[in-house]
Amino acid sequence: MTDQTTPKDRVVIFDTTLRDGEQSPGATMTHAEKLEIAELLDDMGVDIIEAGFPIASEGDFRAVSEIAQRSKQAVICGLARAQLPDIDRCWEAVKHAERPRIHTFIGTSPLHRAIPNLTQDEMAERIEQTVTHARNLCDNVQWSPMDATRTEWDYLRRVVEIAIKAGATTINIPDTVGYTAPRESADLIRRLIAEVPGADEVIFATHCHNDLGMATANALAAVEGGARQIECTINGLGERAGNTALEEVVMALRTRNDIMPYETRIDTRKIMHISRRVATVSGFPVQFNKAIVGKNAFAHESGIHQDGMLKNAETFEIMRPEDVGLSATSLVMGKHSGRAALRAKLKELGVDVGDNQLKDIFVRFKELADRKKEVYDEDILALVTATTEGSDRLQLVNLSVTCGTGGPAEAALEMEIDGREASATCQGDGPVDATFKAVRALHPNEAKLQLYQVHAVTEGTDAQATVSVRLEESGMIATGQSADTDTVVASARAYINALNRLLVRRDKTGKDTKEISYKDVS
Ligand code: KIV
Ligand code: ZN
């Protein structure tokens, strides 16, 4: 079903993690990661996947084309500025999909019109020409007036009408700078639907940024006003403070269906897994107190809360953890669990893995179960993350570290680099510093460490640590992540993982997405 046939009580979910989300500084994903996330989104029931910005780089073009070829149920959409070559390039990429869509946009507020120096009439003409062109190529066209919430009402109404007449099938109203508030968001959509001729022939969409922390509230208010497409990203990833979070709007609609009676197609049990994968591949860990997907979202610390939970979980939980893929399961995992139990557990957690990946996860699981009394769901999800890696030109073979109060820490490291073994011993200011120095001794590089972050996956001193490392080299950014009960080993793996990603990126040619200007419309 495409959005053109959306029943009035259904909201279609448009996920832009791979486009707007990937625009977060430092969130660039590899080609393989983009394919993986697209497949997870499609399997979860996302209606439309905005897979990238095909004119931005060869890499984006290739990713959108391949995602289009592999798509199952989802509409595959690409972004294009209001320029004919952008739209042609976008069509070349999305046309492989069973259900393609072109999304073209232009900044319509006074601030944005001033950049290409177009008058209102000139911009209106450009909109007419570009939407018509897109519609001649594809019968599913989305048009967005960027910075709509700061565009003069009369002009916004005029250009929306032009876009509809030129053939747009979805009109997206972006709050590009996260400026609007819920009542205004609802009123804007309601007024456009009431006053623009032809508005009842198209779907209105809402695209909210989170600069004032109101993105989810504004998106839901827009639905109250008549929008039937919500644009969002996993974990709310996106420029600056991010976008509306998919998991928040979907769970809000599901939990408060009594006052917001709209359905989505999302299989919510897949939310936790995809959230963790996006956190890993983007290098943006999820904050602990983030709604739905944060580590503490279902944790209860106070005695009164714990007591209430034991008597009736509904006392302090408005949804069940298993609704979002954190199963309160009967399957307790430990060192006696076999491969079949692991596969069943992964299935419960909404994770589908192939035989080879299961083999790798099983090896890591057994190692962990030997070291750790209880293996929690979170541990298993962390293992999945740690065994889903891309390039492996650099590999950790062995690491032993001496540290303590007696003197500088010393790390003895063995690595395999392009198939050859090498070793080095370095001293440093603590075990992690010594280890990173040893990696640099074996693989000299100029990459600057932008972020080093450690999170405990579960409680207790035997908990696994998830380590994130972000590196920057000549404007290229790469992040690596790993998990282990040994924080130093996890740190070494995360660092090596980030270096592997930099190597992949170095080999890539073409302009990076972030270099292209959205404002460059002339
Ligand atoms: O925030 C925004 O305005 C956008 C547009 C390109 C739709 O992302
Ligand atoms: Zn945006």
CA distance 21 to 16: 6
Q: Residue 74: pLDDT band by 50, 70, 90 thresholds?
A: very high
Res 517: pLDDT: 52
Q: Does ligand 1 lie within 6 Å of residue 146's CB atom?
A: yes
Res 509: pLDDT: 36
- Among 18, 53, 105, 237, which residue has the most ligand 1 atoms within 8 Å of its CB, making it the best to mutate? 105
Q: Does ligand 1 lie within 6 Å of residue 215's CB atom?
A: no
CB 138 within 8 A of CB 95: yes
- What does the pLDDT average to over 360-366? 89
Res 266: pLDDT: 98
* Residue 372 predicted with pLDDT over 90: no
Q: Residue 282: pLDDT band by 50, 70, 90 thresholds?
A: confident
CB 230 within 8 A of CB 223: yes
Tell which wins on pLDDT, 310 or 449: 449
* Residue 64 predicted with pLDDT over 60: yes
Query: Which residue type is seen at 284?
Result: F
CA distance 478 to 472: 7
- Among 60, 130, 143, 146, which residue has the most ligand 1 atoms within 8 Å of its CB, making it the best to mutate? 146
Res 97: pLDDT: 98
CA distance 64 to 423: 41
DSSP state of 372: -
CA distance 277 to 387: 11
List pLDDT tens digits, range 321-361: 899 998 654 466 778 788 888 888 888 777 878 888 898 89
* Residue 223 predicted with pLDDT over 60: yes
- What does the pLDDT average to over 176-195? 98
Q: Does ligand 1 lie within 6 Å of residue 399's CB atom?
A: no
Res 373: pLDDT: 67
* Residue 4 predicted with pLDDT over 70: no
Res 356: pLDDT: 84
Q: What angle (nearest 5°) sits at the alpha carbon of residue 427, between those of residues 425 and 430?
A: 125
Q: Which residue has tokens 């696994």?
A: 464
Q: How far is the CA of 238 from the centre of ligand 1 (A)?
A: 10
CA distance 395 to 182: 50
Structural tokens at position 342:
């692991």
DSSP SS3 for 240: coil
Which ligand 1 atom minimizes the distance to the CA of 518?
A: 6
State how far the alpha carbon of 302 is from the alpha carbons of 83, 299, 305, 311, in Å: 57, 10, 5, 14
Structural tokens at position 291:
């709604």
Res 264: pLDDT: 97
Tell which wins on pLDDT, 318 or 433: 433
DSSP SS3 for 57: coil
Question: 3-state SS of 499-518?
Answer: HHHHHHHHHCCCCCHHHCCC
Q: What is the sign of the dihedral through the CA atoms of 320, 326, 331 and 332?
A: negative
> What percent of the chain stands above pLDDT 90?
62
Q: Does ligand 1 lie within 6 Å of residue 176's CB atom?
A: yes
Q: Does ligand 1 lie within 6 Å of residue 144's CB atom?
A: yes
Q: How far is the CA of 207 from the centre of ligand 2 (A)?
A: 6
Q: How far is the CA of 182 from the centre of ligand 2 (A)?
A: 17
* Residue 150 predicted with pLDDT over 90: yes
Structural tokens at position 254:
């599901």
Which ligand 1 atom minimizes the distance to the CA of 19?
A: 8
The number of residues making up the chain comes to 522
Q: Does ligand 1 lie within 6 Å of residue 103's CB atom?
A: no
* Residue 2 predicted with pLDDT over 70: no
Q: Does ligand 1 lie within 6 Å of residue 112's CB atom?
A: no
Return the minimum-mean-pLDDT range out of 29-33, 288-292, 388-392, 479-483: 388-392
Structural tokens at position 518:
């959205």
What are the b/e assignments for 344-367, b being 16+ CB within 10 Å?
A: ebbebbbbebeeeebebbbebbee
* Residue 513 predicted with pLDDT over 50: no
Q: Does ligand 1 lie within 6 Å of residue 105's CB atom?
A: yes
Closest residue CA from atom 5 of ligand 1:
146
DSSP state of 283: T
Q: Does ligand 1 lie within 6 Å of residue 505's CB atom?
A: no
Q: Residue 151: pLDDT band by 50, 70, 90 thresholds?
A: very high
* Residue 471 predicted with pLDDT over 70: yes
Q: Does ligand 1 lie within 6 Å of residue 376's CB atom?
A: no
Res 188: pLDDT: 98
Q: How far is the CA of 122 from the centre of ligand 2 (A)?
A: 24
Which ligand 1 atom minimizes the distance to the CA of 177?
A: 1
Q: Residue 267: pLDDT band by 50, 70, 90 thresholds?
A: very high
For 464, phi then psi, to 5°, come to -75, 150
Which ligand 1 atom minimizes the distance to the CA of 174?
A: 3
Tell which wins on pLDDT, 375 or 427: 427
Res 163: pLDDT: 98
Res 520: pLDDT: 44
Return the minimum-mean-pLDDT range out of 144-153, 288-297, 431-440, 461-470: 461-470
List pLDDT tens digits, range 79-105: 999 999 999 999 999 999 999 999 999
- What does the pLDDT average to over 388-401? 80
Q: Which residue has tokens 């395999």?
A: 416
* Residue 477 predicted with pLDDT over 50: yes
- What does the pLDDT average to over 478-507? 84
CB atoms within 10 A of CB 483: 28
Is the pTM higher than 0.85? The answer reads no
Class of residue 455 by CB neighbours under 10 A (exposed 0-12, middle 13-18, buried 19+): middle
Query: Which residue type is seen at 275?
Result: S
Q: Does ligand 1 lie within 6 Å of residue 239's CB atom?
A: no
Q: Which residues pair with 416 in a beta bridge?
A: 395, 421
CB 208 within 8 A of CB 243: yes
